[in-house]
Structure 1
Amino acid sequence: MFLKTGIFKAISFKNPVKLPVSYWFLVIIRFALTIVPQKGYIHPDEFFQNVEIIAGDILNVDIARTWEFNPKFPIRNIFVPKMILGPPLHFIRIVNPYTMYYLNIDLKTPYYLLVIPRLFICLLSLINDYCLYRICILYGQNFRTRLKLFASSYVVFVYCCRSFSNTFEIIFFSILLLFVAECMQKSDKIIYHEEFLNEKYKQATSPVEKVKLFKLRTHLPEHSLNRVIILSTLVVIGIFNRPTFVGFAFPPIFFWLHRGLGSKVVGFKDFHYRIFTFIMCGIPTALLLIVVDSGYYGYITMADVESLKLSWDYWVVTPLNFMRYNLDTRNLTQHGLHPWWLHLVVNVPLLFNILGVLALISIAGHTYRFIRGQYNKLPRIQSITGLMLFSLVTPVAVLSLFPHQEARFIIPVLIPLIYLYGNHLHPNETDGAKSRRLKNILRICWYCLNVLLTIFFGFIHQGGIYPFSNSLYREIKSNYGVHTHVITTHSYSIPTFLLQLESTTKIWKDKKTGHKYRLAPTTFLHKYGSLPMDELFTKIDDVLTNAEMLLHKHKKQYRFYVASPCSLEQRLRHAASSYYYIDLSEEFSYYPHFCTEAFPKFPSGRDQSCVETSLLRTNESRVVDLNMFQRISCFFRKFCLKIYRVRPVTKYKK
């Protein structure tokens, strides 16, 4: 009866709570920015850890299968990417013939291949908003201000709409927090009523009254194992998606196990019973995911299952391989080693700016009180504040133990961060004039910083790769059969699935003759990272030589491009001058394109590379001095991606 009153009545569908218009406006912006599309390229993993692989499986195109999906030692689970990215890619595959026939729209172009999966992930990101909203409603907190801050974060605009495994992780984490918060509140209410009825039962004197109280006690709903199957399944799937999910799942599950512990009706017997049941409920899901991975990577086949000829060598456990790989420091050295404090000092302020700094100050205060023994001033261990605080601190602390740290690893803590400190940016009735002014200033800083970071990471960072991929796609389609060579240097790799290259691994069959064959590759993407210029031109020389040999022997026409940041133009041309038989001509450029691998130097007052060609010709006899405005303008112009056409000099002169 008590479950139908109070806060449960407030969240019923008969009493919907209206969300602020500004929040819906931010949600519309989230989808609009996804459709534009965002040309920024945060990290290669947003493509090569998920959508690149799934697109190759579903659309039957050539892809770059990274080392993480090597069947000899796979470390990535395939179930989660298939479940999340499978629907939009299957939609493209199934609907594309109809859109081409009736609307003359090809969905297998870079724009739709980029946007449709992102739109689906953007839709899934609303789960995070809903979970935060429900937790606030459950515990009577101001959800309006928190939802607006959450929806205005650039982490939501950029990261949460892309196919990172961390994006899937934040969804699992927010659902886990909501379920545990619901279980905690339900257990608190039931334990309170159970203790109350037990006391009344002991105080009762008449048998009739005792029978009545006993019946009321037996009608209390069960709560000890509430949602155990869902929670265990969610944790197992999260761990298979990213084994680091252990750090995120530990605080919620710890609080779920400790519900009511120390009360008169819940003891350590219930605690151990919960642990045992939780583990047992997670085993079927773990076995299912192991079978899925083992089948996908070719460790088991249906023939093996039918013959029951299975051994330990037939199974692959991707989270175990992931941990084995990352525990070896020599492997992490290839990806970059970072100091333990990077998350705290750099990544938290970078991701969460004002709120991140407020959280660090607040946690430092809690740490000081804990050291001083002022435990009464700390959040109660079984409260929602305690759950959120531990869910914020523990993942960051655990991930700081690993020497390889990237900002995106900790984006799931945005949910507890907003819940704990979201109201710190909005004035309330008890605030004085100075406090209101400070909060308003902090809120304005929050919005401004998130706008700037959305523009930077959404459109500027490595922003030339997608437009170049789009142009390259059109050129490959319009010059079918012509060999295309592309070298990228000091930039991220081109997502191969955007080019929709016909599969060279699939066995094709001639309908007339029945002859089976494989297509020979005609597009070659060479990724050389931050290779020094002299070594890069050795590679360019090799590629050009091989292309010329095929041209003269087998009449194979070719096109050869080098994509390089504009800041390296002088170094690139200087290195090219040593190869008198190679002509390097600029074809086009894409602006803006920011990359830390080739950050431009601020030009000096006599940097002649900044002088326009027409002005340089009229002043050939003297050095042109630049004013500060010209130097600043030149500096910003270097944030672009230039595409050079490579040809032999003799052929070019003809």
Structure 2
Amino acid sequence: MTGDHFQLEHVRTWEFNNTMPVRSITIQFLLLRIPWSFFEFFALYMRQYFAIELLRSYTYLVFPRLIMCALSFVNDWSLYRICRLFSLNYEIRLLALSSSWVMLIFGTRTFSNTIELALCSLMLSLVAECMIKTNTVIYKKEMLEERYDNAKSISERVKMWRLCKSLPAHNYTHTLLVASISVAGVFNRPTFLVYGAPMVFHWLLRGMGTKTITFRDFNLRILLFCISALPALVFFIVCDSFYYKYLTGGELQMLQLSINNFVSTPWNFIKYNLDSKNTAEHGIHPKYVHLLVNMPLLFNVLGIVAIVSFGRLLIRFFRADYQSLPRAQSIISLMTSAIFVPFFFLSLINHQEARFLLPILLPIVLMHAPKLHHGLCPTYPFKEEHPLMRKIYSTVLCTQVSAKPLLKTWYMCNIGLVIFFGFIHQAGVVPLTQHFENVMLEKSPAQHIHLITSHIYNVPLTLVNVPSSQVLHLNRETGQRYRRHKDFYIYEYGSLKMDQLLGKIKLILSHCETKYNTKQQKYSLYLALPAPLSDDLAAKLRTSKASSYMRAQLIRVFYPHVSTEILPHFLSTGHNSTITKDTMLSYDYVSKQLLSFLRQFGLELYEVQIQRNSHTAKHHMQKISKKMA
């Protein structure tokens, strides 16, 4: 959205292609494109009157995150609202939510899962409000009807009748809101189907089983829900159709419309993911990854407690101990189904990432956050008094034993994960883009910049702040339109082996020498890779023929940075020659190894150059050029 709005070089991912778009653009447009318009207007006056340039790489990074941070407070409000409705202690729950690394990191990032988290939280609060309102009204109505039947005088019956008629309507509360949020959630991410299904079901089910609510009301709720969803459905389809150029203003004005003028991105998403070959391209994970890895990773002790608690419910169910199970229309049932219904269906999908489980954060916190303060089990949980059971409870489950370790573990895990994923993991990518923003501003107009990356995330080109070469730009002073020549190229090679990466560098270097090494045009070639690969790069350059004509000069290191594709190794190969037991215990050796280990927490940037005075270089470049031709 930032690249589109400011006409910058950016990468449009495959989900947003015009041929078969599988992701809706409407929510992203409303959340970011419209605020960008106001910010651009403000930045224009800051530039003109105060000579302050606000449209920089840092702004492109932070401004969308501020919007997502503001959106994340929907989760806090929803949790607080539910706690107040059901008279629950909201302090420990809000404390657990705000200290969770999921909120601090994922909640402030531009993930569609973050939007899905906010929509699920809002939906839960609305459904919970409808449930408590329906239960309260039905209870009062049945009580008044009973008093009406038992009344001995006409005046008392009239009074009961009037009180019964004055009760507020509850049957179709928030129908339009619930339906619209459901549609918005599905268009944002079609996985909202499995997240919203248990919530909508509880919204439809409330009050069933009483004298007041019958199957007729249930069916009317379904009908009204479907009708209320139509405006939002039409809005999203029309907006997406305009954005992806399936529908134009002229066609709409002339009413020359057909089914091909409209696009339904959730349907395309479902069709795409029904093919197992397509999902396999993004990675195949075992079915237990969400259970054993992602759940503990995201929610640590609360995730484990949630799984154990659900296991206890299943044991009670299979033992036919139905009296110990929560009622179908209770808040516990709503939150339990909001956790484990989507958890079950998402575990059936081949591709499983931790961020897919973000929306279950609020129900997990609501259900189990008090255990951080009160312990795993405040009261003795077993029906029969047994010495072994009593000992297990006294040593593991009781409040005095389990409360403090749980709270400490919660805080320590979240602090560690915030530091790692917020400040260390792939943290050098953003400073790298800001560095190349300055490079592009300071270079001469005839110079071309080429960047090769390996073992790091894809570089967000928008943050490099390079005007797009694919669109027509407007010169505001002359009013003329022009097209800008491409002068920034990036080659991203994932996790190639060093031999293969060196081959790619040779080809790109040869291409640059052939095309740009003239009096009119110049070039600079850079290589960015994690610091643990520096020894491997130096060794390969020394042993290969490339050392005779090519050199890689380290110009900058961005700290901190860790790539899980190539983790830092403690024992550096540069100090391993003739090592003895006494040497390993020496202060000098240990300090060198420690410094070498710490240096690996960085992203190194090299400038790759040709040795101009080398006859071998000219001969080798000519040889590669002939092969390329």
The TM-score normalised by the length of structure 2 is 0.89
What residue number does 1:188 align with? 135
CA distance in 2, matches of 1:130, 1:352: 20
Q: Would the aligned equivalents of 2:517 and 2:523 in 1 still touch at CA under 8 Å?
A: no
Name the CA shift for 1:381/1:477 in 2 (closer, same or farther; >3 Å).
same
Aligned residues with identical type, % of pairs:
37
CA distance in 1, matches of 2:475, 2:64: 33
What residue number does 1:499 align with? 464
Find 1:639's aligned residue among 581, 594, 601. 601
Find 1:448's aligned residue among 412, 417, 436. 412
Find 2:275's aligned residue among 299, 305, 328. 328
1:583 aligns with 2:545: no
Name the CA shift for 1:469/1:652 in 2 (closer, same or farther; >3 Å).
farther
CA distance in 2, matches of 1:511, 1:491: 38
Deviates more, 1:275-284 or 1:538-547: 538-547
1:231 aligns with 2:195: no
Name the CA shift for 1:652/1:192 in 2 (closer, same or farther; >3 Å).
farther
The secondary structure found in structure 1 opposite 2:553 is strand
1:168 aligns with 2:133: no
- Equivalent position amino acid for 1:351 in 2: L
Name the CA shift for 1:245/1:652 in 2 (closer, same or farther; >3 Å).
farther
What residue number does 1:462 align with? 426
Shift of 1:542: 2.5
Shift of 1:582: 2.1
CA distance in 1, matches of 2:4, 2:477: 26
Shift of 1:333: 1.7
1:399 aligns with 2:361: no
CA distance in 2, matches of 1:652, 1:184: 80
- Equivalent position amino acid for 1:443 in 2: L
CA distance in 1, matches of 2:29, 2:370: 38
Deviates more, 1:505-514 or 1:632-641: 505-514
CA distance in 2, matches of 1:103, 1:353: 49
Report matched runs for 1:544-559 at 5 Å. 544-553=509-518, 555-559=520-524
CA distance in 2, matches of 1:582, 1:430: 69
Deviates more, 1:206-215 or 1:105-114: 206-215
- Equivalent position amino acid for 2:136 in 1: K
Q: Would the aligned equivalents of 1:566 and 1:642 in 2 still touch at CA under 8 Å?
A: yes
1:347 aligns with 2:347: no
Shift of 1:382: 0.7
Q: Would the aligned equivalents of 2:584 and 2:590 in 1 still touch at CA under 8 Å?
A: no
Report matched runs for 1:362-401 at 5 Å. 362-401=309-348
Q: Would the aligned equivalents of 1:589 and 1:640 in 2 still touch at CA under 8 Å?
A: yes
1:438 aligns with 2:402: yes
* 1:215-237 deviation digits (Å, cap 9, x = unpaired): 22222111110000000000100
Q: Would the aligned equivalents of 1:88 and 1:117 in 2 still touch at CA under 8 Å?
A: no
Find 1:648's aligned residue among 610, 615, 618. 610
Name the CA shift for 1:458/1:193 in 2 (closer, same or farther; >3 Å).
same
Gaps of 5+ in 1: 1-53
CA distance in 1, matches of 2:478, 2:67: 42
1:124 aligns with 2:91: no
Shift of 1:610: 4.6
CA distance in 1, matches of 2:274, 2:564: 28
Find 2:442's aligned residue among 455, 468, 478. 478
Name the CA shift for 1:154/1:76 in 2 (closer, same or farther; >3 Å).
same
Q: Would the aligned equivalents of 2:549 and 2:614 in 1 still touch at CA under 8 Å?
A: no
Q: Would the aligned equivalents of 1:88 and 1:116 in 2 still touch at CA under 8 Å?
A: no
Q: How many residues align?
A: 590
Find 2:563's aligned residue among 586, 591, 595. 595
- Equivalent position amino acid for 1:404 in 2: H
Q: Would the aligned equivalents of 2:128 and 2:331 in 1 still touch at CA under 8 Å?
A: yes
Name the CA shift for 1:601/1:552 in 2 (closer, same or farther; >3 Å).
closer
1:316 aligns with 2:281: no
* 1:337-360 deviation digits (Å, cap 9, x = unpaired): 101111110001001111111111
CA distance in 2, matches of 1:109, 1:514: 24
Shift of 1:552: 3.6
RMSD, aligned α-carbons: 2.5
CA distance in 2, matches of 1:368, 1:303: 62
Q: Would the aligned equivalents of 1:588 and 1:644 in 2 still touch at CA under 8 Å?
A: yes
Name the CA shift for 1:515/1:124 in 2 (closer, same or farther; >3 Å).
closer
Gaps of 5+ in 2: 380-393, 618-629
What residue number does 1:271 align with? 218
- Equivalent position amino acid for 2:158 in 1: V
CA distance in 2, matches of 1:130, 1:380: 26
